[in-house]
Amino acid sequence: MDHDTTLLLGLDGLAVTKVVAAGDGPQEGPVVYLATADERARLCPQCGVAAVRMKEWVTTRPRDLPVAGRCCALRWRKRRWCCDQASCSRRTFTEQVPQVPARSRLTTRLRQATGAAVGDGGRTVIQSARDHGVSWPIVSAAFTEHARRVLPAQPAPVAVLGIDEIRRGRPHWVLDEGTGTWTTTVDRWHTGFVDLSGDQGLLGQVEGRTVAAVTGWLDQRDAAWRTGVAFVAIDMCSIFKSAVRAALPHVTLVVDHFHVVQLANTALTEIRRRLTVQVRGRRGRKGNREWELRNRLTRSAARMHARQLDPMVDDLQALPARLGAPILAAWNAKEDLLDLLALARTHPDRTVIAERLFRCYDRCAASGLPELERLATTVETWWPEILAFLRTGITNAGSEGTNRVIKTTARDAYGFRNPENQRLRTRCTTTRRGRGCLNPA
Ligand SMILES: [Zn+2]
């Protein structure tokens, strides 16, 4: 037996007896002849007693991972044994080792590598199948097994939980013949739960964007896990708010500043569009200064250079008073709100917060614009959650990033038919860093 070659091949329980050099073909690798080197290979799979009477020799040709970049053809000459135990119904069996189970045409390590390439390596199922020379269904099954092995059944404790929605596919409707009403069987909205404080990525996803869907997932966690959650970051969605209030009454809800800024910018744009139609009798176009400034208006002044900012204010003041003054007022209100949100992560004093909030409310009220009044009302409704953001600086950016990963994975795969498989893939992808798969060599 060639001990060195056996070590090099590294298939536990099998020893290399001979290696024959490759043929002339470009695809041909060396042929490796193997013999059994594990006494347990002769244990009957049914009764577990070692067999003593041999029936015949058989040769199996399991496919394996490449060795030094070349695919080797394995030839394992093994015995078929007879089980002589009277109580055992098994008459004969062939030898098997964990790396090459009986009847398997692939080694266990090849099968696992195909699944790991998808779950840890970020490859698609079809590409992993091409790379390893196996079929799509084999890789898909190997990936599912890999995912079940590496993903915990229950998430570890989480201090900051993110909840966000994502759209998936189309809704399906069915007509109830009795009542004549349509009901959804497949909801296009899915709700994701993300670990924002640790590296567990996407913890779970449920179909639907309802209170019942969110509380259903949270109720499946044990009491200790739910008690461990201190903060929940959500976007300005009252469904999530009431669901979290019901399932996790002790947590502090935090609203992401991104959505507050988005609301303020939407209000500003609505005002600009409405006034343009009122004053000019049509939509804005090239040559209308307020239309040309439409993108600059929604940028934060703190991120603009003075040579952009000062002319913008001058240009707005030069517009007709019915148009320029309200847009400028709305822009000022938006900037006041941004000033308020900029206090996050600075350990702000409550008088400073109150001062900036009052300035923003005052500006909205003084403008007399319905869009700004609505904005101020929304801020007031969500004030406890916005204040929690100012105090903690927690954002839901991790959930939004997870949504991007979900979309990227789905596009790579050319879509998923089965939401369960999609969740497994997304969970594997979002936990890759935590599992050490993205570390540099
Ligand atoms: Zn037996």
Report the SS3 class of residue 174: strand
State the distance from the centre of ligand 1 to the C-alpha of 49, rounded, in angstroms: 6
Nearest of 123, 104, 38, 25 to residue 71 by alpha carbon: 25
Per residue in 121-163, pLDDT tens?
Answer: 999 999 999 999 999 999 999 999 999 999 988 889 999 999 9
**179 Cα–ligand 1 center, Å:** 62
In the reported structure, the alpha carbon of residue 250 is separated from the centroid of ligand 1 by a whole-number distance in angstroms of: 59
Residues 153, 157, 163, 165, Cα dihedral to 10°:
-20
Distance, CA 108 to ligand 1 centroid (Å)? Answer: 24
- Cβ atoms of 199 and 431 closer than 8 Å: yes
Are the C-beta atoms of 263 and 375 separated by less than 8 Å?
A: yes
pLDDT tens for 243-295 read 999 999 999 999 988 999 999 999 999 999 999 999 889 998 898 888 998 89
pLDDT at 1: 52
How many angstroms does the Cα of residue 215 sit away from the middle of ligand 1?
Answer: 51
Q: What pLDDT, on a 0 to 100 scale, did the predictor assign at position 338?
A: 94
CA distance 358 to 160: 30
Distance CA(326)–CA(64), nearest Å, equals 72
Query: For helices 419-430 and 136-150, what crossing angle results, to 10°?
Result: 60
With pLDDT > 70 as the criterion, what percentage of the chain qualifies? 98
Residue 436 region, left (φ>0) first, then alpha (ψ -120 to 50), else beta?
left
Instruction: Give the Cα separation of 95 and 407 in Å (integer).
Output: 46
| Residue 47 CB-half CA count within 13 A | 15
Strand 189-195 relative to strand 202-207, pairing: antiparallel
Residue 110 Cα, ligand 1 centroid: separation in angstroms? 29
Q: How confident is the model at residue 169 (pLDDT cuts 50, 70, 90)?
A: confident
Looking at the domain 161-256+396-404, which fold is it?
Nucleotidyltransferase; domain 5 (3.30.420)
Q: Break the chain down into helix, strand, coil percent, rounded to 5.
A: 45, 20, 35
- CA 42 to ligand 1 center in whole angstroms: 10
What's the chain's average pLDDT?
Answer: 91
Q: Would you state the pLDDT for residue 373?
A: 93
- What is the Å distance from ligand 1's center to 95 Cα? 13
* β-sheet bridge partners, residue 161: 195, 232
Residues 95-102 have a mean pLDDT of: 93
Task: Give the whole-angstrom CA distance, residue 208 versus residue 384.
Answer: 26
For residue 402, pLDDT beyond 60: yes
Centroid of ligand 1 to alpha carbon of 94 (angstroms): 12
Distance 102 CA to ligand 1 centre (A): 15
Which class for 290: exposed (0-12), middle (13-18), buried (19 or more C-beta within 10 A)? buried
Question: Is pLDDT at 2 greater than 70 in this prediction?
Answer: no
Quote the radius of gyration of the chain (alpha carbons, Å).
32
Which H, E and C letters describe 34-55, residue by residue? EEECCHHHHECCCCCCECCEEE
Is-contact 161 167, C-beta < 8 A?
Answer: no
- pLDDT value for 96: 93
The domain locations on the chain are 3-105, 161-256+396-404, 257-392
Decide if 43 contacts 102 (C-beta within 8 A): no
Between the CA of 87 and the centroid of ligand 1 the distance, in Å, is 8
Q: Give the integer Cα–Cα distance in Å for 412 and 126.
A: 10
pLDDT number for residue 26: 64
- 310-364 confidence digits (pLDDT tens): 888 898 888 888 888 899 999 999 999 999 999 998 988 899 999 999 999 999 9
Helix H or strand E encompassing 206: strand 202-207
Cβ contact 318:325 at 8 Å: no
pLDDT band at residue 434 using 50, 70 and 90 as cut-offs:
confident
Q: What is the DSSP letter of 156?
A: P
pLDDT of residue 441: 65
